[in-house]
């Protein structure tokens, strides 16, 4: 399967860098194809494409941004007993394997270590524009219509209730509390997804997030009406 999305290298990327991007994409594709929790290869493709879109507008380094987008879920901490050192380590190993220099590898690994949402009360600030773009791209894929679908896919994968009106949403003040939470999928909207609109970094992402956030609010309103037996 051909995984390259860009028809040609962006203006600030060399042919050699594009070759590395294509090779890394092929490796990620082989590892995540068919994954069933919403963190699959097509999630990577969507984040990758959105990251490139934001990168074009915000004028960041495509090479850094694309590598971070491709590798951000290659070893997601949520599937490694909450160990958030695994993802950056695996990403750095893959980059080294593909001949990426240590400065770039360190930058990408740093982005991946900070990228994920780890609870409403846990700050995850990005130091660089490239990190902000990669984080925005990932968060945009967690909201809107795709975000709703992914939330229920993840909830099913984790054997969580769809909704339990007797169970109230929680505010998680630590990564550990968030990781060990077993709340319903509807609670997940209030504990994470509805918070993401105000945690976007770039103006472009903020504009996109507004419409997706509104769609989630409309969905929840309809969901609760039907839950209560209303037409």
Examine residue 8 and state whether it is found in any structural domain, yes or no. no
40 neighbors 50 (Cβ within 8 angstroms): no
* Among 107, 101, 143, 154, residue whose Cα is nearest residue 126: 107
> HEC string of 22-71?
HHHHHHHHHHHCCCCCCCCHHHHHHHHHHHHHHHHHHCCCHHHHHHHHHH
Would you say residue 180 lies in a domain? yes
Number of domains observed in the structure of the chain: 1
Segments forming the whole domain that contains residue 221: 15-227
- Do the domain assignments include residue 159? yes
93-142: per-residue pLDDT in tens?
A: 999 999 999 999 999 999 999 998 888 788 888 999 999 999 999 999 99
For residue 201, tell me if it sits in a domain: yes
CATH of the domain at 101: 1.10.3210.50
- Tokens 């060990």 label which residue? 180
Q: Is there a domain that residue 3 lies in?
A: no
- Domain contains 46: yes
Cβ atoms within 10 Å, residue 79? 15
pLDDT score recorded for residue 11:
59
Whole-model pTM: value is 0.90
pLDDT digits (tens, 9 = 90+) for 146-167: 999 999 999 998 899 999 999 9
């Amino acid at each position: 399967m051909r995984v390259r999305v860009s028809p040609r290298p962006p203006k600030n990327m060399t042919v050699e860098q594009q070759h590395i991007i294509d090779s890394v994409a092929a490796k990620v594709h082989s590892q995540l194809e068919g994954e069933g929790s919403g963190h699959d290869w097509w999630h990577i493709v969507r984040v990758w494409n959105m990251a490139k879109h934001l990168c074009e507008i915000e004028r960041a380094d495509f090479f850094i941004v694309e590598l971070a987008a491709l590798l951000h879920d290659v070893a997601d901490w949520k599937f490694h007993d909450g160990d958030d050192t695994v993802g950056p380590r695996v990403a750095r190993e893959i980059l080294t394997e593909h001949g990426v220099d240590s400065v770039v590898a360190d930058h990408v690994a740093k982005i991946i270590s900070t990228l994920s949402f780890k609870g409403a009360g846990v700050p995850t600030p990005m130091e660089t524009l490239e990190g902000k773009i990669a984080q925005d791209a990932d968060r945009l894929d967690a909201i809107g219509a795709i975000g709703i679908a992914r939330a229920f896919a993840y909830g099913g994968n984790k054997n969580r209730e769809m909704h339990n009106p007797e169970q109230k949403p929680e505010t998680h003040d630590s990564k550990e509390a968030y990781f060990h939470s077993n709340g319903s999928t509807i609670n997940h909207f209030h504990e994470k997804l509805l918070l993401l609109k105000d945690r976007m970094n770039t103006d472009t992402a903020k504009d996109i997030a507004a419409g997706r956030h509104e769609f989630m609010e409309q969905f929840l309103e309809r969901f609760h009406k039907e839950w209560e037996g209303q037409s």
